[in-house]
């Protein structure tokens, strides 16, 4: 008789309780699909007395997740605590050392320590699965490691932070400024304890670095992701983009060029009628481009109890079925160190700046653009409602320009003496 697969669950927050519910509710279905039963034997959380929306009475309790990871009655250690240091890292390392397989939803842990953990797990004959760490309920890891394994991946692109997408679409739909919607998201509990993880692009950057490792056969290189959050996106930018047929999204792009691995997570203008442009609320979307398959688009809920727990259990069921793959699709020993490369693909850019009403002000800015080799496609001047009489918002849309040329032009603007505040430059991504 096949023995049950025994789970040790560390973390009883939203995702952890979601896992408990699926194991309890779908026990017969899981057994039918795997040929063995899957049971939770022990759990770990800081406060055993806390009221939780699930019956946990049948499980052994450990207040120390490391002790849970080392229990003899645990085959698979599930880590849904979060954090890239401290208990999550210590318990994951302890689980591998104790001969356990690991399933985690912790994108930060793998973005910072993925290569070392993968080496340790594979040396011990164990697996680390992390479908829930990227894009919630969307099976994008499985798509890359299995369904598209016969493809040379050319590009990975995605909207992978539901909080940022909620803020940007809420601003657009309600006409509200960033600061108001940010506070609204905080009150609704959408933001991390450190909001910059969300709005600064860090959370989404973690996810992009994991996808890039699988897609391009490199060691995880989160430190090389070009990051820019959404804090400088104004309601004026959103409205003006809409007038031009675009929406603004926090978009991640990873691709391998002849110079190295390009990874960026930045606000972009995307065509309003494109799949990314139509993405609303907390929904995530990932586009994968392979040499044989072309482009495929995966869309779904990027967070939440059910979707993320669903992804966790997908990994658990694969382990129960005996499916054992290297952590990042190839053995960690053969993954190449990523050679970082700044994005160099030319694209149109949206530029917004406030200029003093001085003679020749506009000409000075145009000269800076010309000297940087950037040609102007459109220009618009907007008087500020309630603003200073001598200030005006000026919008430029450029023809395709190299990112380095845009950066060079922006660096020259300050010396003109005609700017009020900092200019905003947003790439227009032609999907």
Catalytic residue numbers? 207
Tokens representing residue 199 in the block: 């709005």
Cα–Cα dist 27/420, whole Å = 62
Q: Are 352 and 236 contacting, i.e. CB atoms less than 8 angstroms apart? A: yes
Q: Are 81 and 92 contacting, i.e. CB atoms less than 8 angstroms apart? A: no
Paired strand residues for 251 = 266
Q: Is 40 helix (H, G, I), strand (E, B) or coil?
A: strand
Q: Are 285 and 264 contacting, i.e. CB atoms less than 8 angstroms apart? A: no
Helix, strand, coil distribution of the chain in percent, nearest 5: 40, 25, 35
Cα distances from 106 to residues 12, 31, 117, 188, in angstroms, run 14, 27, 13, 22
**Nearest CA-CA partner of 320 in 12, 107, 23:** 23
Cα–Cα dist 9/15, whole Å = 10
Query: How far, in whole angstroms, is CA 280 from its chain's centroid?
Result: 16
Q: Are 423 and 374 contacting, i.e. CB atoms less than 8 angstroms apart? A: no
Q: Is 351 helix (H, G, I), strand (E, B) or coil?
A: strand
Look at the alpha carbons of 397, 402, 409, 251 in this order and tell me if their dihedral is positive or negative.
Answer: positive
27-34 vs 14-25: helix axis angle to the nearest 10? 70
Q: Is 388 helix (H, G, I), strand (E, B) or coil?
A: coil
In terms of residues, how long is the chain? 431
Q: Are 23 and 39 contacting, i.e. CB atoms less than 8 angstroms apart? A: yes
Name the helix (H) or strand (E) containing 395.
strand 391-398
């Amino acid at each position: 008789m096949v023995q049950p697969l025994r789970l040790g669950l560390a973390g009883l927050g939203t995702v952890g309780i979601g896992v408990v519910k699926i194991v309890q509710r779908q026990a017969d279905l899981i057994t039918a699909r795997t040929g063995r039963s899957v049971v939770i034997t022990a759990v770990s959380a800081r406060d055993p007395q806390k009221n939780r929306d699930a019956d946990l009475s049948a499980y052994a309790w450990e207040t120390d997740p490391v002790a849970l990871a080392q229990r003899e009655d645990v085959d698979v250690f599930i880590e849904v605590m979060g954090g890239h240091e401290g208990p999550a890292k210590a318990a994951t390392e302890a689980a591998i050392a104790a001969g356990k397989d690991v399933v985690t939803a912790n994108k930060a842990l793998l973005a910072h320590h993925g290569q070392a953990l993968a080496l340790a797990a594979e040396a011990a004959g164990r697996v680390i699965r992390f479908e829930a760490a990227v894009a919630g309920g969307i099976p994008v890891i499985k798509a890359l490691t299995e369904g598209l394994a016969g493809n040379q991946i050319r590009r990975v692109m995605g909207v992978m932070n539901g909080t940022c997408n909620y803020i940007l679409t809420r601003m657009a739909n309600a006409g509200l400024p960033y600061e108001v919607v940010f506070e609204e998201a905080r009150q609704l509990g959408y933001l991390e304890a450190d909001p910059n993880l969300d709005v600064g692009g860090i959370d989404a950057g973690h996810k992009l670095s994991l996808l890039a490792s699988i897609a391009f056969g490199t060691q995880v290189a989160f430190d090389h992701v070009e990051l820019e959050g959404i804090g400088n996106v104004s309601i004026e930018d959103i409205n003006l983009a809409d007038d031009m047929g675009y929406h603004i999204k926090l978009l991640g792009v990873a691709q391998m060029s002849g110079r190295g691995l390009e990874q960026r997570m930045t606000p972009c203008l995307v065509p309003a009628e494109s799949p990314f442009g139509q993405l609303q609320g907390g929904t995530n979307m990932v586009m994968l481009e392979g040499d044989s398959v072309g482009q495929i688009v995966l869309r779904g809920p990027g967070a939440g109890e059910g979707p993320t727990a669903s992804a966790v259990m997908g990994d658990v069921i694969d382990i129960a079925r005996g499916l054992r793959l290297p952590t990042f699709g190839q053995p960690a020993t053969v993954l190449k160190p990523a050679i970082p490369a700044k994005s160099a693909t030319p694209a149109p850019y949206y530029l917004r700046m406030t200029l003093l009403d001085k003679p020749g002000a506009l000409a000075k800015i145009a000269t800076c653009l010309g000297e940087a080799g950037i040609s102007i496609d459109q220009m618009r001047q907007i008087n500020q409602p309630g603003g200073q009489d001598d200030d005006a918002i000026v919008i430029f849309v450029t023809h395709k320009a190299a990112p380095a040329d845009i950066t060079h032009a922006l660096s020259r603007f300050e010396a003109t003496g005609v700017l009020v505040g900092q200019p905003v430059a947003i790439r227009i991504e032609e999907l």
